[in-house]
Structure 1
Amino acid sequence: MTKHRSIPPEFMTVGEVAKKMGVTVRTLQYYDKEGLLSPSAESEGGRRLYTDKDLVRLHQIKALKSLGFSLDAIKHRLISLETPEDVAAALADQADSIREKIELLKASLTSIEQLREEVLQMQTVNFKKYADIIVNLQMKNDSYSLIKRFDDETLDKIRNRFNKESGLKFMDRLNRLSDEILALQEAQVPPESERCQEVVEAYWELIMEFTNGDMTMLPKLMEIGTIDTATNAWEERQKKINDYLEPALKIYFSTPGKDPLIGVKE
């Protein structure tokens, strides 16, 4: 860095640059410290001196920062760019990043609005249930609205049985099986058919896995799962599944050796 005894006319002090460019002295000192914008010269008294070229560089930093670029991106990727094509490519990358952030924000907004609706339908403040709803929204579990209908004891049992990873795997299996049930219903496959009974058996095994064989959970699950009037797409789908499963389960449980009260915990 060149040192000067006095300040030549073509140089400016940090205070002058700050005033001219509408930034703080502290900001310029930080840019210097980070290697983002270092002054071109220094006086013998230690004053940092800037040129018009430095102002152009500072203007570029401000412009890029206003577009959403981080200081790290400006330092390592943008300041050294010299051609319009290079800058355009960097801006295209930033545009992609902004679009991704917008999608994430949209998803967050949707989750907040959905949680708000659930909160208003609950009779009491229950932050544990709020947390469960948030987790299920993140898992994209369409049945999240059922959580408000569970009592705290049942929810505690479910929390002890599943974490987010195992919960996702379970929901994936349940959804795939539900799709199969709907396909059988649409194809008008009789509930007593061998294929239908195989699917019903798999469905019942999932319920037993969900409860860990705890029969005390079944009445609450039956109550929660009963849908008289569907109010959303998930409930409409589940109501169709229930209408098909109910007679099929009766046939399944009437089969010798399939009594649901045998071989499970009370």
Structure 2
Amino acid sequence: MLKVGELARRSGLTVRTLHHYDSIGLLQPSARSESGYRLYGDADIERLHAIQALRGMGLSLAEIGPLLGEGDRAQVPALVARQIAQLDEQIERSQRLREQLVLTQTLLARGGRPPPEDWLAGLLLMNTCQQYFSPEETRRLFEDWRRLEADSTALIGEFCQAREGGVPADDIELQPLVRRWMRLTMRWMRGDEAMLDRWRQMRRAHPPTRGGGGLDAPTLHYIEQAVQARLDVLMRYLSPEDIDRLDKTLDDAWDDLVERIMLLVRQGTTPGDPAVRPLVREWFDLMGRLTRHDDALRARLIEAHSREPFLRAGAAMTPAAREFIQQAIAALDPHPT
């Protein structure tokens, strides 16, 4: 048994606090000495521990009393669980606030003082994005857009010039731009087609009235028509499921291959030269990756490009590189022995 002074010293409380607990009936000593000193036993110490734990959770003494009353001890675990849930909600709210501040910081990172309409356009886009993307995804989209903005602005300018010049959206002339647009978009989305689908859903539901880099609603519609024109031709040979399966993250690899093919062409290397064999095998490897190693899909895709100038106009392989590699395939055995 501990006297009140000893209990106060060992618990880190004051004697005055323990006297107060006693006076309100929250923690009454289980015994008293012959001289009237309060004596606290093991059960009292356990109860004091529970009181302080509940106080630490933010409960008032008036709330604690009934919870620790006779027959009510079973409520304590449920109360603790409730407090944990409340703390989790507070943490989540704090995290959301932090993410909002990071997004705001991203907008401010442009420097200077943009005109009010740019602020409003940016804030509208940020708030709209958060209806379709998580805060982390939204932050990533804004940050990556800044990295690609110069290329995007230039490309949008070319689309605008074509639109204003009366070039139809389904003209073959636009297909090289379409390829660049699709490549840039996939780089922005880091190859995540599910995110790209959500972005398209958002843009259909909330068309831009004044977008970054000049991407307004008419220009966006024009670009989407040009992309759809390409897909319409491709779907004469492939199903929508086939198109979804294609690996659309290989543009850098294709560009690197084309560059090395054209280097051999400039050097006067003939398609039958053994030096071309590694490039032929690399072409087959990329085609396998592009079509997820589905031979039937690869055959349909090759047929589509061989028959449709519209598709070749926006393909990764330039006409000269395509002709050279086709001649090399005919001249060399591309398969390892």
TM-score (norm 2): 0.31
Q: Looking at CA atoms only, which structure, 1 or 2, has the larger radius of gyration?
A: 2
User: TM-score, length-normalised on structure 1?
Assistant: 0.38
